[in-house]
Amino acid sequence: MSRPLILFDLTRLLSASGRSAPTGIERVEYAYARWLLSLKSVHVRFVVTMNSSVRLVADSEVPAFLDKQARTWARGARGFSAQRAITNVNHFLKGSGGPPAPRLGYLSREERLQRRETSGPAADKKPRPFASWAQQMAANWAREPLAPLLQKWARRRPVIYLRASLDRMERPASIERIKAFAGVKMVTLCHDIIPLDFPEFVRPNAAKLCAARVETMARHADGIIVSSRYSAHRLAPHLQPHRPKVLVAHIGMDTPPAPTTELPDLVEAPYFLVISTIEARKNHLLLLNLWRRLVDDIGPDAPKLIIAGKRGWEAQTPIAMLDRGDQISNAVYEAGAVPDNALDLLRRNATAVLMPSFVEGFGMPVAEALAVDTPVIASDIPVFRETAGSAAELIDPLDGPAWREAILDYAAPDSPRRAAALARAKAYTPPTWDAYFDSVHAFLEQVIGEPAPSFTERARRALGHVALDGADVSPAPQKL
């Protein structure tokens, strides 16, 4: 087989360029881009989707773009360095209250300022022919159309159009044009379909948007990569009738960095840590109500809670408690979107990482905490039973008394319960990116290995699987 061509879509990562606090999806797309740059066995080109067209990114631009994005994440928000984040936390742990961190959220003021500085003031004053800032940026370094490359290579070598998210798949025109070239296969990641399963936890239009994206994926994808068996199970009913191949691969963890000496020492005081965007499905409300009761019952001896993450959506009550709940202000600190180095320091020194989510597609903070031997108390939900198993202590996300009991037990000096949790964390073997990408590489080869559909088969698909010769073309059931 000739060396395959992989077209990797960078649109999601590009849209987050300049954003100081990446989502888990953006971190995964970044890992994919780095992995693809390292491959010698395939020919890789990077593309971006702009309006309804897909354009090639100049090869020379990609490494510099990725380096710049990594520096942005490490630097943190404007005026909010890793050193500043730890200094703020130390003020809180000393009992003097923590200074407010930047209130980063979707399109927050701090991030808009940072983006304008990155683009330059002159660019902001000119009319923009594209719909978004990201498209304006892409126009500067993604000028080459994709079609001529596909016309040259699609019949001569295997081609895979690879995506690390479902972003913009509600508008399938560009995907349809790519798939119109004979022999082009599409593989995409689907991290979860939470907006379809739990529309109450997302923005009002998110369920409809997710449904359109999943429909496009089911119609056009030849392979789908999911991060848990739970997500695969939830996705299965939506893949009829095409039934593309599905790979379940647990997301890899970066090798934990050595503890840095560049940051201030943390004050020696116990604390619990939550790492997540503040949104309804993360169940911050359980913890905030629990901590309010602890303050009522114990007073200044109540354990400390640090919340690391930016503000999200459908979380008005938790945000109101953080903004106006003076009663808990000495026990609970909203640290904001903490830069990576500072977050690693907080994670390593926490009494435990807490994750009382109602639903997750994978739950990276759990694996990341266990990878550095930090105990975890998380929700007893299917995905955590799968990905963490006995390494984490799992409690029903609605069982407030059980969470209270666990937190008080862990907070006790020389806690036997925490000691047992620490031993389980040390025995945990985190998933690695090397193992993950070995699985992905093999899966891509499996997808490529299928013979390209004949003209008759492509016509059947276009006509909704109508049998042109009277034969039954319904696909056989396939287990995920």
Give yes or no for residue 1 having a pLDDT over 70: no
- Element of type H or E holding 111: helix 109-119
Considering 9-13, 127-131, 134-138, 207-211, the range whose residues carry the highest mean pLDDT is 207-211
Closest CA relative to residue 327, chosen from 291, 301, 354: 291
pLDDT in tens, 197-235: 999 999 989 999 999 999 999 999 999 999 999 999 999
In this structure, of 148-152, 326-330, 422-426, the range with the lowest mean pLDDT score is 148-152
**Domains of the chain (ranges, CATH numbers):** 5-74+109-252+435-462 (3.40.50.2000), 257-427 (3.40.50.2000)
Q: What percent of the chain has pLDDT over 70?
A: 83
- E-assigned strand segments in 146-294: 159-163, 184-189, 223-226, 245-248, 272-275
Which pTM was predicted? 0.85
Give yes or no for residue 400 having a pLDDT over 50: yes
Query: From edge to edge, which strands make up the β-sheet containing 376-379?
Result: 332-336, 305-308, 272-275, 352-355, 376-379, 393-395
The four Cα atoms 414, 419, 420, 425 give a dihedral, to 10 degrees, of 160
Q: How many residues does the chain have?
A: 480
pLDDT in tens, 98-125: 788 776 554 444 444 554 554 444 344 4
Q: What is the pLDDT of residue 318?
A: 95
Contacts of 354 (CB under 8 A, 6+ apart): 272, 273, 274, 287, 305, 376, 377, 378, 407
Side-chain half-sphere exposure of 52, counting CA atoms within 13 A: 5
Q: What is the pLDDT of residue 29?
A: 95
Side-chain half-sphere exposure of 273, counting CA atoms within 13 A: 29
Q: How far is CA 307 from CA 187, 193, 471, in A?
A: 36, 25, 59
User: Across the strands, what pairs with 376?
Assistant: 353
pLDDT in tens, 43-87: 999 999 877 788 999 888 899 999 988 888 877 766 688 899 999
Please list, residue by residue across 220-247, b when 16 or more beta carbons sit within 10 angstroms of its beta carbon and e when fewer do: bbbbbbbbbebbbebbeeebeeeebbbb
Q: What is the pLDDT of residue 103?
A: 67
CA–CA dist 227, 188 (Å, integer): 12
φ and ψ of 335, to 5 deg: -80, -10
- Higher local confidence (pLDDT), 54 or 420: 420
Closest CA relative to residue 292, chosen from 380, 394, 400, 377: 400
Q: How far apart are the first and last CA of the chain?
A: 27
Say if strands 332-336 and 352-355 run parallel, antiparallel, or are unpaired: unpaired
Considering 237-241, 250-254, 336-340, 362-366, the range whose residues carry the highest mean pLDDT is 362-366
